[in-house]
Amino acid sequence: MIRRTLLLICIAFLLANTYEVLSQRCPDPPSFQSGLNTQKGVASLEHAWPGGMKMNLRFSIPENIDGWQMLMVFSERNVQLNIWRAQIIKNIKGKRFRLKNYDWNKRLSKGEDLTMAFLATFTGRTPRLCFVYLIWKGESPPPEPTTTQLPPTQPTSNPVTTTEPRPPTPPETNPPSTTQPPTTAAATQQQTTAATQQPTPPSTTQSKPTTTKPVPATTPPTTQQPTAETTQPPIPLTTKAPPTVISSCSKYDYNEVLHKSILFYEAQRSGKLPENNRIPWRGDSALEDKGNAGEDLTGGWYDAGDFVKFGFPMAFSTTLLTWGFIEYKTAYSAAGEHDRMLDSIKWPLDYFIKAHVSKNELYGQVGDGHADHAQWGRPEEMTIARPAFKIDQASPGSDLAGETAAAMAAGSIAFRETNSQYADTLLRHAKELYEFAAQYRRAYTDSINQASDFYRSSHYQDELAWAAAWLYRATDDPNYLQKAEQHFAEWTPFGNPAWGFSWDEKTAGVQMLMYQLTGSNVYQTLIQNSLQQWLPGGSVQYTPKGLAWRIQWGANRYSANTAFLALLAADKGLNSEAYTTFGRNQIHYMLALDELTYAIMIT
């Protein structure tokens, strides 16, 4: 009986799918005007699920081509298309798409294959890809079309930029406070530091290992958004060579992870959005953000699903994202995301340039956190007051100024090869902000009291060393290394295993960066001691499925950030097998939504 029931279910399933395929209607292949050459593409389904599909396209290039377009037609309407190696220029009812090349891949050589992947999402019946043609101008007659493997029986999903915007998606909400619970990070640090002897910092005369020292180049810059007078003009998204999207040696598509992670930050943008905005449900917002003297404070990122711009965590996010880009630039290029990543980090960096209105004056918050949490709505429709809060000589904030200096110093490295003038601007601001932070010392939340309930700073000494270390990496000026070592020696917690790595706690990051810059055994021992706490058997707890968690509130931020440090340490030859396993396992845990019975939110 059970077998018969299962057989009937299987037959019913097959019949339903057969009916669905037969009922889909494809138009006849188009006729192209004289003078246009065409090549029909080969399409193959890589992965499918209800509501979405991922497919791969391949075109064999019969002659040299300088500029091309593509026609893609589905059997159903309302398909939402996301494709990485072509740009959508026309979308007719989500069924017929016209695309064109980017500047970096407009030239194709005879005998090569043009390959690309796309994601399509939809509701209702699964669409078929009826046909896809590559189109270009040429003198030779069009080649014989290649047989297309008609696609999916089921689909995959991803966001898209089309001419028909998708319906708005309500923003996710977070608990009202974004601070770490009291008696966690700070308290743990205070308890452990008193008992540990501070090691002697290494001498500045030690030889420095090879680091990512940028070399000026004449390649055109790579971002787009125009900002204040201090920022450089918008620059086109180009790459020096066509990226080749590589497949990862994992069941997870790391290329897609990078792509969607960058999209996440684009969704947080405040201010006047650029023409190439890829989030169709986002629009211009907070265009009247101003300082106390009328300074332009538009731009930057919103925070944690809210509409306040908190400079301290924004700067840390920028520093960490930029660090990852500097270390793994070739991976971003291979994934086809190099220019998008530069574009992503330039958005907050432009804002920091605006916010640093004078040498010892930096705006650190725009918006009232309490008022913002009390109202629900879209940032495009905000009507509440948005006060601005700053630090200056009378009310300083060494942590805020130091972290912003670190972000801008790291940014200067990232942009050095493609936009040296912009890199110089960032470096000038970074130097001024570091001097401000070191000369006028105080925690920023003692000056910007409004931030205390959301991002209270536990200490500022780690940001002083962090900023000096990044300035040394950006400039190669030994004075900054000497200052970083001095800050390191002055603050006892640097000699202890770090509690974590986050917007408030930079100890582990400083230990790792100082080891990179000096190769010293002292810093090597310290970062290994910090990472050891996160390995199985250390002080950090593990969930039954393998997430290392320090505290319950915002657990993934600590494990993800530490995973980055572990993977970086492994790449530098430290405990490579153990650190790589830990880092990979933590990230895979966060990607394993299809295997877990609950959703994970990274805050």
Name the most confidently modeled range: 204-208, 242-246, 250-254, 266-270.
266-270
Are 545 and 224 spatial neighbours (Cβ–Cβ below 8 Å)? no
- Going by pLDDT thresholds of 50, 70 and 90, the confidence category of residue 481 is very high
Token pair belonging to 329: 């630039």
Q: pLDDT (tens digit, 9 = 90+) per residue, 79-112?
A: 999 887 899 999 998 999 999 998 888 899 998 8
User: Does the domain spanning 36-137 belong to CATH 3.30.70.870?
Assistant: no
**Does residue 497 sit in helix, strand or coil?**
coil
* CA distances for 186 relative to 402, 463, 487, 500, angstroms: 19, 15, 18, 10
The arithmetic mean of pLDDT across residues 52-69, rounded, is 92
d(CA 83, CA 95): 15
d(CA 113, CA 39): 12
Query: How is 10-58 classified by DSSP, letter by letter?
Result: HHHHHHHHHHHHHH---PPPPPPPTTEEEEEPEEEEEEEETTEEEEEEE
d(CA 312, CA 352): 11
**Does residue 90 sit in helix, strand or coil?**
strand
- Going by pLDDT thresholds of 50, 70 and 90, the confidence category of residue 593 is low
Are 601 and 304 spatial neighbours (Cβ–Cβ below 8 Å)? no
Which of these, 36, 124, 146, lies nearest to 74 by C-alpha position? 124
Question: Computed over its alpha carbons, how large is the radius of gyration of the chain?
Answer: 26
Q: What is the pLDDT of residue 26?
A: 84
d(CA 565, CA 527): 9
The arithmetic mean of pLDDT across residues 416-444, rounded, is 97
Tell me if 36-137 shares its fold with 254-591. no
The arithmetic mean of pLDDT across residues 50-54, rounded, is 85
* CA distances for 555 relative to 327, 502, 541, angstroms: 25, 11, 11
Are 567 and 560 spatial neighbours (Cβ–Cβ below 8 Å)? no
Q: pLDDT (tens digit, 9 = 90+) per residue, 113-130?
A: 898 989 898 888 889 999
Residue found under tokens 């055109």: 220
Percent of the chain residues topping a pLDDT of 90: 61
Q: What is the pLDDT of residue 554?
A: 87
Are 402 and 464 spatial neighbours (Cβ–Cβ below 8 Å)? yes
Question: What predicted TM-score, i.e. pTM, was given to this entire model?
Answer: 0.63
Task: Tell me the CA end-to-end span of the chain in Å, nearest whole number.
Answer: 50
Residue found under tokens 């070592």: 485
DSSP state of 201: P
Are 455 and 179 spatial neighbours (Cβ–Cβ below 8 Å)? yes
Helices (H), 502-554: 507-518, 521-532
d(CA 130, CA 119): 15
Mean pLDDT score of the chain: 80
> What region does 575 belong to: left with phi over 0, alpha with psi -120 to 50, or beta?
left
Q: Are strands 107-108 and 52-60 parallel, antiparallel or unpaired?
A: unpaired
Least confident of 105-109, 151-155, 245-249: 151-155
* CA distances for 302 relative to 222, 269, 447, 503, 506, angstroms: 23, 6, 21, 15, 22
Residue found under tokens 């492994």: 570
d(CA 562, CA 555): 11
* Cross-strand partners of 73: 96, 131
d(CA 101, CA 86): 5
Q: Domain spans of the chain?
A: 36-137, 254-591
- Going by pLDDT thresholds of 50, 70 and 90, the confidence category of residue 338 is very high
d(CA 499, CA 501): 7
Angle 410-185-195 from CA coordinates, rounded to 5°? 105
d(CA 402, CA 517): 19
Helices (H), 519-575: 521-532, 555-571
Q: pLDDT (tens digit, 9 = 90+) per residue, 174-183?
A: 333 333 333 3
Q: pLDDT (tens digit, 9 = 90+) per residue, 137-149?
A: 875 444 433 333 3
Q: What is the pLDDT of residue 437?
A: 98
Query: How is 315-376 classified by DSSP, letter by letter?
Result: HHHHHHHHHHHHHTHHHHHHTT-HHHHHHHHHHHHHHHHHH--BTTBEEEEES-HHHHHT--
Name 383's Cβ contacts closer than 8 Å, sequence gap at least 6.
none
* CA distances for 569 relative to 78, 546, 557, angstroms: 46, 21, 18
Whats the size of the chain, residue-wise?
Answer: 603
Q: Which amino acid is at 398?
A: S
Angle 235-100-55 from CA coordinates, rounded to 5°? 110
Q: Is the dihedral of CA 445, 449, 450, 453 positive or negative?
A: positive
| Class at the top of the CATH hierarchy for domain 254-591 | mainly alpha
Q: What is the pLDDT of residue 461?
A: 96
- Going by pLDDT thresholds of 50, 70 and 90, the confidence category of residue 11 is very low
Q: What are phi and psi of 96, to 5 degrees?
A: -120, 120
Q: What is the pLDDT of residue 46?
A: 81
Task: Convert 161-190 into a string of H (helix), E (strand) and C (coil).
Answer: CCCCCCCCCCCCCCCCCCCCCCCCHHHHHH
Which of these, 115, 117, 127, lies nearest to 155 by C-alpha position? 127
User: Other CB atoms closer than 10 Å to residue 566's CB: what's the count?
Assistant: 28
